[in-house]
Structure 1
């Protein structure tokens, strides 16, 4: 996991999943065919063979043809013992790790970012909560490395609340009260038969009941719309269906509220800013109709009612499993685009030149420094394609000078080949030269591999050199740091 993987000229983002329950398995399925994102490790307390079986056979979401044969697996309950070195993003979908103090252990063990698949608890100052279509434009990956998408209910509710507020602003109105009810499919936090529950007596009752329980969506909404604090209230009911949930939102405004105009407003948003997040549905659907729908809010025109001049009832469906997992994957893709796209971020801002001289063991004062010509250098770079599974794309600009791009497992480099093949210079994708103070180990490794290939080519020419030169050359073979 420690090496950087490339797909052509793109860096592959490596993902680990801690907790391979329903969410973890759906996220794995959704990422399976993504060309630039790989799930490389899973940590779960269940045996790997059991996880493999559950991945392939899902009672709600159907069959999945691939297993976990090539995935690294561990079974650690303490995040301090999970080795994430080389993993870019850890998705944590365990029941208990919900605070910065707990989740930061993943960062200490090598992860670059952590995404939590539930609302965060404790001190939120060092974390950021994102809702697609609501505040994803404010995603700050430089200052926050632990992220959350709140809850599945909040992901359905927040886009609706946003539209209500925007519609009120457009019509010179204001929100007075918001009340919502979610009728939610049961989860594995509930009991099948009556038994004790650690936090809610009602959740310990037989799953075939309609069970009123708490919801944190009210307080989560206030994270995005602080002006609604004290104005939004919610209730949740767990019902005996395996997937697919319903949301009802009642809105009271200061002035009159036209449901017909609001429906048109929602439909327009579903085709523009909230596309792929909110779907506008005219047919009268039931809860199972939303299963495997990636939208987090399916607005039901048939469920909307004008209760009075300034009161309306709105309705929506959401797949509390697949829809939410899809937005976790969308966040992973967004991180990939913002932080791991090498065209935008590889070696950005570096200023110090890094060269590899093609003079082998002969020393700077020897007449044989130009023994390799342009084509020799290109040949050496091409040799690395077979040896290291790298890729060199040549872009020749003249008879004796040219450039190209070298894609390696340690990064992507612009290549400038000097006159007569005397040296090559490694630059970043923007054309700026690189600063060896940043990630020097990886840069020197690439530099050393190129230098070694040059030396092998020079030695084929059987030019005599001294014992002192030979010792210097052998030292260079052993340590990339000596290629200076």
Structure 2
């Protein structure tokens, strides 16, 4: 087993543990699947960790037995150490058992300097969320560019995973000349329930549960060239926060290098979803609504009925994503991929 530690036991962190346990249950004896050995969250006691892990409003009750002890939780008999440390340099990742990889789901440690604080006591790599100066790798898009000597990597954000998955397929088949994306973000625990004081952007201090609003800082387009350098200067984006939990979407309009039809673009996306982007993209011709996407593990659920052909070389494409469950799956996949590359090098 590949043993990992998680910093941050929020919604994505808890789902990551669920996924790891589910995958280990499906695996064969001796298989190198990630398994969570320790969780750090200074805001949660082991009792709260166990309760929030078991009960989830959107993803349902975890069916296996959970026991909360003084310094750990037992999930279906598997021991997960529970730590409440605020200083990254003092988290005892290897106090009880050797941990190889750290997954930081807080979204706070997005710089190389900050993420590197996890790299001690034999930790091989730290995988973080968010965008900064850390190399970004997105499963199905550029993850094969990862090199084993890279010690801090990012899986970016849910909207970036959705957007770049779509861009990869469209660009490889039709050549993207220009693109404009609107990322539609669900609410999260960092948003305001009621109007309150926040940072420098005044409207982000407004209630997120009864308003929707532009959020420029969350627009993913400026990071696309970090993942797909060939699209440097060709992709712009905006973002909107909506009062819907868990599920987001990307509305993408692209100008292509050749004349096409919307149906042809859809056919190529379906082909990719069934082949080289399987598990990353799902093609759907159903009449979907946001709640239909809850619990979908794909980075990008292409909604064939929601898009349209605008001109001979311009199409509008619409895709959904589960910002929590699908993103947790990509974190799990990235850990598994990094560990497999380590084995290959040996």
| TM-score w.r.t. length of structure 2 | 0.88
Decide whether aligned partners of structure 1 residues 338 and 230 sit closer, same or farther in structure 2, where only a CA change above 3 A counts: closer
Alignment-derived partner of residue 261 in structure 2: 258
Are the equivalent residues in 1 in contact too, given 2:222–2:237 (CA < 8 A)?
A: no
Deviation, 1:56, is 0.6
Distance 1:166 1:233 in 2: 19
Equivalent residue, structure 2, for 1:115 = 127
Report how far residue 102 of structure 1 moved: 0.9
Let me know the Cα RMSD of the aligned residues: 1.6
2:195 corresponds in structure 1 to 194
Higher relative contact order (CA 8 A, sep 6+): 2
Q: Larger radius of gyration, structure 1 or 2?
A: 1
| 1:156 alignment partner in structure 2 | 162
Quote the Cα distance in structure 2 between the aligned partners of 1:314 and 1:237: 17
Deviations 1:258-317 (A, max 9, x none): 212111111111111001110110112011111101100011110120112221110111
SS of corresponding position for 1:15: strand
- Provide closer, same or farther for how the CA distance between residues 140 and 216 of structure 1 changes in structure 2, counting only shifts above 3 A: farther
Please report how far the alpha carbon of residue 182 of structure 1 lies from its aligned counterpart in structure 2 after TM superposition.
Answer: 1.8
The aligned residue for residue 56 of structure 1 is 54
Q: State whether residues 210 and 237 of structure 1, in contact with CA within 8 Å, keep that contact through their aligned partners in structure 2.
A: yes
Between 315-324 and 63-72, report the one with greater CA deviation. Answer: 63-72
Change (3 A) 1:66 1:93: farther
Aligned pair 1:331/2:334, yes or no? yes
Correspondence for 2:37 among 18, 37, 40: 40
Matched, 1:17 2:6: yes
How do residues 70-469 of structure 1 correspond to structure 2 at under 5 angstroms?
A: 70-85=79-94, 86-119=98-131, 121=132, 124=133, 127-141=134-148, 143-168=149-174, 174-207=175-208, 208-214=210-216, 215-340=218-343, 348=346
> 8 Å contact 1:82–1:109 — kept in the other structure?
no
In the TM superposition, what whole-angstrom CA distance separates every residue of 1:300-347 from its partner, at most 9, and x where no partner exists? 11012011222111011110110111111111221232325xxx56xx
The alignment partner of 1:179 has SS state of strand
Deviation at 1:216, TM superposition (A): 4.1
Question: How far, CA to CA, are the matches of 1:218 and 1:199 in structure 2?
Answer: 22
Q: Which runs of 5+ in 1 are unaligned?
A: 1-11, 169-173, 349-484
> Does the 8 A contact of 2:110 with 2:129 survive in 1?
no
- In 1, the alpha carbon distance for the partners of 2:159 and 2:188 equals 13
Task: Please say if residues 4 and 35 of structure 2, whose CA atoms lie closer than 8 Å, have aligned partners that are also in contact.
Answer: yes
Moved more, 84-93 or 247-256: 247-256
Question: How far apart, CA to CA, are the structure 1 residues paired with 2:229 and 2:137?
Answer: 15
| Regions of 4+ moved over 6 Å | none
Q: Given that residues 18 and 43 in structure 1 are in contact (C-alpha distance below 8 angstroms), is that contact kept between their aligned partners in structure 2?
A: yes
Measured in 1, the distance between the counterparts of 2:341 and 2:256 equals 39
Shift, 1:199, TM fit: 4.9
Q: List per-residue Cα deviations over 1:358-378 (Å, max 9, x = no partner).
A: xxxxxxxxxxxxxxxxxxxxx
CA deviation after TM superposition for structure 1 residue 147, in Å? 1.3
Indicate how the Cα distance of structure 1 residues 19 and 193 shifts in structure 2: closer, same or farther if over 3 A, else same.
same
Task: Confirm or deny: 8 A CA contact 2:183 2:220 kept in the other structure.
Answer: no
Q: Please state how far the C-alpha of 1:245 moved relative to its aligned partner.
A: 1.2
Q: Does the Cα contact within 8 Å between 2:219 and 2:239 map onto a contact in 1?
A: no
Q: Is the 8 Å Cα contact of residues 244 and 319 (structure 1) preserved in structure 2? A: yes
Q: CA–CA distance in 2 between the matches of 1:240 and 1:27?
A: 24
Q: Deviations over 1:171-224 (max 9, x none)?
A: xxx433201112221011210000012353222211210111022411221112
| Ranges in structure 2 where 5+ consecutive residues have no aligned partner | 28-32, 67-72
